[in-house]
Amino acid sequence: MKRRSFMALAAAPVVAPLLTSCSGNANQMEVFTWWTGPGEGEGLAELEKLFAAAKPDVEFVNAAIAGGSGDQAKAALAARLQASDPPDSFQGHAGEELADYIDSGVIEDLSGLYESEGWNSVMHPGLLENLTKDGKLYAVPVNIHRANLLWYNPSILEENRLEVPQTWSQLIEQNEVLSEQGIATLSIASAWTQLHLLETVLLGELGAEAYNGLWDGTVGWQTGEVIAALETYTAVLEVSNLSEAAADWQPQLDRLMDGTAAYAVMGDWAYSYLATNQGKVYNVDYSVAETPGSVGVFDYLSDAFTLPVGAKNRENAEAWLTVCASIEGQDAFNTKKGSLPARTDTDQSLYTDYLAWNLGQWLDSSTVVVGSLAHGAVARPGWATEIQTALGVFVQNGDAVAFADAVALAYQNTKS
């Protein structure tokens, strides 16, 4: 099997309308994202306001395509890049997700912009390390998100005399009590949320060091420890509402708020949805903890923007990237989206409730940082696609050995 690059994501159903909608001119700046949902849409709107203030004569073209985790958007983007019709800037996740774009030569080296704007000294050093490839920087981060979070309904726990589980086994054991009350222990949604859950189970069961080893090839997928962790994942699914999984992450969280589920594993974009869009109160209507087994670990992902080679409005794109990296841009965006700033010199007083708790852990030098599988930090797009495909089978048949074999083979076939 040949190595699959990001181009393999191109999907025919979304190509045609895009190829006829992207004629650019000097008075435009087209930004491509998958931010249309609650919180993320408002965050993007804040950046658009700042860009409009900086470039009042330029039309901002929002080319967002809906869908949590960006699967549809990434397929559409791949089609446009294949057709040499890039937007002026597109969203990507820091880490391995950008590697194929870099190797394929479709995004520009932004190291000069970093130097001229002084960003090397204000961005979080650990994040810069993940953005750097062969000494060059190819994207501008606008935020930091956390993936290893267990959201819960505190009233359900109190009424049933339950504590937040510290291990996945404890969460599974709570199902006996919760199921008697007609409450799902774990709420889950579409395929990408099942991948998101998988990474948090692997992290909790294996620990940070072995989890990292899964992605750099130093820990084998077919070892007994990994198979046992995958079997735990199957057991976790058995106490979820998998048979009636919600379409996306917002209705997944709604089940916590209507009292039909106790827990949900989701990134911290959930905070913006619950606090801002649903008007819920932190530590009253909802609360959050690290996913079982991951206290002291920060499973990160970061949204970043690129400058594609051949962008029609290059000057405007650089102005957009400057807005994204500014203190004003990062504070305006992240307080809406429920994420943390990539810069270390923003106004920390703006980050309250959950965000204050999370910011303290991100800046704590003792926190162990690992990267997210489901959100592009640790696996190249080709391998990640193969994992997602194999997971769809694994969720149905529960065959941990077959899944591990498929992922190990895909790693060999897709590694650079």
Coil, helix or strand at residue 294 = coil
Give the lowest-confidence range in 190-199, 244-253, 365-374, 398-407.
Answer: 244-253
Q: What is the pLDDT of residue 3?
A: 41
pLDDT band at 310 (very low <50, low <70, confident <90, very high): very high
Is there a single domain that holds both residue 246 and residue 387? Answer: yes
Q: What is the pLDDT of residue 4?
A: 47
How far apart are alpha carbons 210 and 29 in whole angstroms?
43
Which comes out higher in pLDDT, residue 306 or 363? 306
Q: What is the mean pLDDT of residues 156-171?
A: 98
CATH number of the domain enclosing 101: 3.40.190.10
The answer to whether residue 58 is domain-embedded is: yes
pLDDT band at 15 (very low <50, low <70, confident <90, very high): very low
Nearest to 151 by CA among 319, 327, 354, 308: 354
Give the lowest-confidence range in 128-137, 341-350, 404-413.
Answer: 128-137
Domain, as residue range, for 104: 28-145+302-365
Phi, psi angle pair for 140, to nearest 5°: -110, 115
The answer to whether residue 175 is domain-embedded is: yes
The answer to whether residue 70 is domain-embedded is: yes
Q: Could you tell me what percent of the chain has a pLDDT over 90?
A: 77
Mean pLDDT of the chain: 91
Q: What is the pLDDT of residue 17?
A: 37
Q: Which helix (H) or strand (E) holds 59?
A: strand 59-62
Is there a single domain that holds both residue 125 and residue 153? Answer: no
Which residues sit opposite 32 in a β-bridge? 90
pLDDT band at 9 (very low <50, low <70, confident <90, very high): low
Q: What is the pLDDT of residue 10?
A: 53
Measured CA to CA in angstroms, residue 110 lies from 87, 121, 138, 232, 337 at distances of 17, 15, 5, 43, 25
Is there a single domain that holds both residue 264 and residue 409? Answer: yes
Is there a single domain that holds both residue 306 and residue 342? Answer: yes
85-139 tens-digit pLDDT: 999 999 998 889 898 899 999 999 999 999 999 999 999 887 888 788 899 999 9
User: What does the H/E/C string look like for 67-111?
Assistant: CHHHHHHHHHHHHHHHCCCCCCEEEEECCHHHHHHHHCCCECCCH
pLDDT band at 6 (very low <50, low <70, confident <90, very high): low
Q: What is the pLDDT of residue 63?
A: 93
Is there a single domain that holds both residue 168 and residue 222? Answer: yes
Q: What is the mean pLDDT of residues 30-44?
A: 89
Q: What is the mean pLDDT of residues 69-76?
A: 80
User: In this model, does residue 181 exceed pLDDT 50?
Assistant: yes
How far apart are alpha carbons 310 and 260 in whole angstroms?
50
Is there a single domain that holds both residue 324 and residue 355? Answer: yes
Q: What is the mean pLDDT of residues 378-406?
A: 96
Output the pTM of the full model: 0.86
How far apart are alpha carbons 202 and 416 in whole angstroms?
24
pLDDT band at 5 (very low <50, low <70, confident <90, very high): low
Q: What is the pLDDT of residue 12?
A: 40
Domain count, the chain: 2
Strand-by-strand arrangement of the 145-146 sheet:
145-146, 297-301, 368-371
Is there a single domain that holds both residue 38 and residue 178? Answer: no
How far apart are alpha carbons 403 and 391 in whole angstroms?
7
Sequence-distant (6+) residues with CB within 8 A of 13 are none
The answer to whether residue 401 is domain-embedded is: yes
User: In this model, does residue 198 exceed pLDDT 60?
Assistant: yes
3-state helix, strand, coil in the chain (%, to 5): 50, 15, 35
How far apart are alpha carbons 339 and 330 in whole angstroms?
10
User: In this model, does residue 220 exceed pLDDT 70?
Assistant: yes
Which comes out higher in pLDDT, residue 243 or 261? 261
Is there a single domain that holds both residue 266 and residue 384? Answer: yes
The answer to whether residue 346 is domain-embedded is: yes
Is there a single domain that holds both residue 159 and residue 258? Answer: yes
Is there a single domain that holds both residue 247 and residue 316? Answer: no
- Both tokens assigned to 37: 């949902």
The answer to whether residue 209 is domain-embedded is: yes
How far apart are alpha carbons 143 and 148 in whole angstroms?
16
Is there a single domain that holds both residue 273 and residue 341? Answer: no
Is there a single domain that holds both residue 262 and residue 400? Answer: yes
- Both tokens assigned to 168: 């996945």
Which residues sit opposite 90 in a β-bridge? 32
Q: Could you tell me what percent of the chain has a pLDDT over 70?
A: 93
The answer to whether residue 20 is domain-embedded is: no
Helix axes 314-325, 40-54, angle to 10 degrees: 120
How far apart are alpha carbons 328 and 325 in whole angstroms?
8
The answer to whether residue 9 is domain-embedded is: no
- Asked if residue 285 lies in contact with residue 356, where contact means CB atoms within 8 angstroms, the answer is no
Q: What is the pLDDT of residue 244?
A: 85
Q: What is the pLDDT of residue 14?
A: 40
Measured CA to CA in angstroms, residue 52 lies from 56, 61, 323 at distances of 5, 11, 10
Measured CA to CA in angstroms, residue 254 lies from 34, 158, 249, 258, 355 at distances of 21, 19, 9, 6, 20
